[in-house]
């Protein structure tokens, strides 16, 4: 017994006549009669009384019609629901972001646009560092994430650079280097100050890139703190514990306590905004989310 047989049965019941039902279904009458007989044989009971003017439902046939109609209706709803999910109009998405990625104006704007376009998709937001988000993507707990520099590139996870922006030194107000003004701070000057850096042990990132530039220049920076998040680095810098290196989009944090200055001679050092997503899950809402983010990134003005 399958849905096709059930649809045949319901159509015959509605028409009360094999020939009219066959015409409505677009098939010949003999195959339709055979399908109804096969269904009755499988169920072990008679569904129709046959007579010269057509067919009428037996008592068992009337009961079966109720169940068959409900199953056909449920199958139709299920198909519509799956098509809505495939079209990105229903379903769910778990989106992650790092604190520094969330600080970029692009992230909340694109999430707001997604909610506007896909109000029936349940959206869950989680925050973690880049390593934690990458692990969550691999495990399937998160479908997509906004982060800065990938700390690992596991199989099955795609990383797309959306935007790039310069990095700034965040200095406590009154720090000698804050007097640099528009001239900016050189790498050598930066290495004279105690640095507060975000570090994922043993992994690449903004921290590793900065240290590599210092090493290439024969410089040895003084590191006062290593912290898990850029927001923590800025909080410590605001408290006078050292100098933090952060993306330019975080310049709005602690404006009364911090002075932000650009770095000079460090063209290789910038802060990307990266979209990571599960490549083998790229269907339904996730496919539409990735496409929306890509389109929005193309419209974003260059930093």
d(CA 12, CA 33): 9
- Give residue 202's pLDDT: 42
Counting the structural domains of the chain, the total is: 3
End position of a domain, from candidates 30, 65, 86: 86
Phi, psi for residue 61 in degrees, rounded to 5: -65, -35
Same domain membership, residue 211 and residue 196: yes
Q: Quick one: which H or E segment has residue 94?
A: strand 91-97
Using CA atoms, how far apart are residues 255 and 103, in angstroms rounded to an integer? 14
| Residue 84, helix vs strand vs coil | helix
Residue 258 lies in domain: 163-271
Please write the tens of the pLDDT for every residue from 53-90: 899 999 998 999 999 989 988 887 787 677 766 766 76
pLDDT tens digits along 103-162: 899 999 999 999 998 888 989 999 998 889 999 999 999 999 999 888 889 999 999 999
Looking at the structure, do residues 81 and 99 belong to the same domain, yes or no? no
Mean pLDDT of 284-300: 91
Q: How far apart are CA 229 and CA 124, in angstroms?
A: 21
Is 81 in the same domain as 104?
no
pLDDT of residue 131: 87
Between CA 245 and CA 145 the distance in angstroms is 22
Do 252 and 182 fall into the same domain? yes
Q: pTM to 2 decimals? A: 0.68
Confidence (pLDDT) at 218: 92
Residue 295 predicted with pLDDT over 60: yes
Q: What one-character DSSP code corresponds to residue 182?
A: G
Which residues have C-beta within 8 Å of that of residue 297, sequence separation ≥ 6?
106, 162, 163
pLDDT 10s digits, 182-238: 678 999 999 999 999 887 554 457 788 888 888 888 998 889 998 888 889 999 999
Together in a domain, 236 and 192:
yes
Buried b (16+ CB within 10 A) or exposed e, 226-247: ebeebbebbbbbbeeebbbbbb
């Amino acid at each position: 017994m399958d849905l096709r047989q059930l649809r045949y049965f319901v159509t015959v019941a509605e028409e009360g006549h094999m020939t009219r039902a066959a015409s409505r279904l677009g098939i010949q009458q003999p195959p339709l009669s055979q399908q109804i007989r096969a269904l009755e044989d499988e169920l072990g009971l008679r569904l129709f009384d046959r007579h010269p003017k057509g067919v009428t439902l037996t008592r068992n046939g009337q009961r079966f019609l109720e169940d068959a109609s409900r199953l056909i209706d449920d199958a139709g709803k299920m198909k519509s629901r799956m098509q809505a999910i495939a079209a990105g109009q229903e379903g769910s998405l778990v989106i992650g972001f790092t604190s520094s990625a969330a600080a970029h104006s692009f992230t909340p704007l694109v999430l707001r646009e997604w909610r506007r376009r896909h109000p029936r998709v349940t959206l869950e937001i989680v925050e973690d560092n880049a390593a934690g988000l990458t692990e969550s993507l691999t495990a399937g707990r998160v479908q997509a994430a906004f982060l800065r520099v990938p700390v690992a590139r596991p199989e099955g996870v795609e990383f797309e650079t959306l935007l790039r922006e310069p990095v700034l030194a965040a200095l406590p107000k009154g720090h000698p280097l804050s007097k640099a003004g528009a001239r900016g701070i050189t790498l050598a000057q930066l290495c004279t100050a105690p640095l507060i850096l975000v570090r994922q042990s043993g992994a690449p990132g903004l921290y590793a890139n900065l240290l590599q530039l210092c090493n290439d220049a024969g410089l040895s920076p003084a590191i006062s703190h290593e912290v898990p998040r850029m927001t923590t680095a800025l909080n410590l810098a605001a408290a006078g514990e050292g100098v933090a290196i952060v993306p330019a989009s975080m310049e709005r944090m602690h404006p009364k306590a911090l002075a932000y200055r650009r770095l000079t001679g460090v063209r290789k050092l910038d802060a990307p905004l990266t979209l990571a997503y599960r490549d083998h899950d790229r269907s339904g809402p996730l496919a539409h989310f990735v496409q929306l983010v890509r389109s929005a990134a193309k419209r974003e003005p260059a930093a």
